[in-house]
Amino acid sequence: VSEFEDVGSLIERFAAARDWQQFHTPKNLAMALAGEVGELVAELQWVPDPGPEPWLEDGLRARLGDEVADVLIYVIRFSQVCGIDVLSEVRAKLERNEARYPVERSKGSSAKYTDLPPP
């Protein structure tokens, strides 16, 4: 059992022990996920445009970690409820992105794949 599956089981058991599956519809979980993404973003709102280092001081890293955990928990729970295999979806997506963004055409560029220079 991978660590990822392990965490997935913890999340599932947490919900089951509280009889919360009834609330965990795809719609509710998607909304909860969006809310947690909002909390993550709010931690960075008005933070001076970050340089590489000092902006993570003052507990900000800890608060970001807390919100990242919330986001990932809801991603995992949403995927469980929808029957989505998160890791295989991520692998498949990375493969598609490899094809969309060939290194020789995308290196150092922030352009969307549809706007990359032709080969």
State the nearest-atom distance from the C-beta of 28 to Mg ion, in Å. Answer: 15
Residue in the structure block whose two tokens are 């900000």: 60
Pick the binder of Mg ion from 37, 70, 86, 106 (CB under 5 A). Answer: 70
User: CB-side exposure of 19: number of CA atoms within 13 Å?
Assistant: 0
Residue 100, helix vs strand vs coil: helix
State the nearest-atom distance from the C-beta of 32 to Mg ion, in Å. Answer: 9
Cα R_g (the chain), whole angstroms: 18
- The answer to whether residue 39 forms part of the interface with Mg ion (CB under 5 A) is yes
Phi, psi angle pair for 69, to nearest 5°: -60, -45
Residue facing Mg ion at closest CB distance: 70
**Closer residue to Mg ion, CB minimum distance, 30 or 116:** 30
State the nearest-atom distance from the C-beta of 86 to Mg ion, in Å. Answer: 20
Contact residues for Mg ion (CB under 5 A)? 36, 39, 67, 70
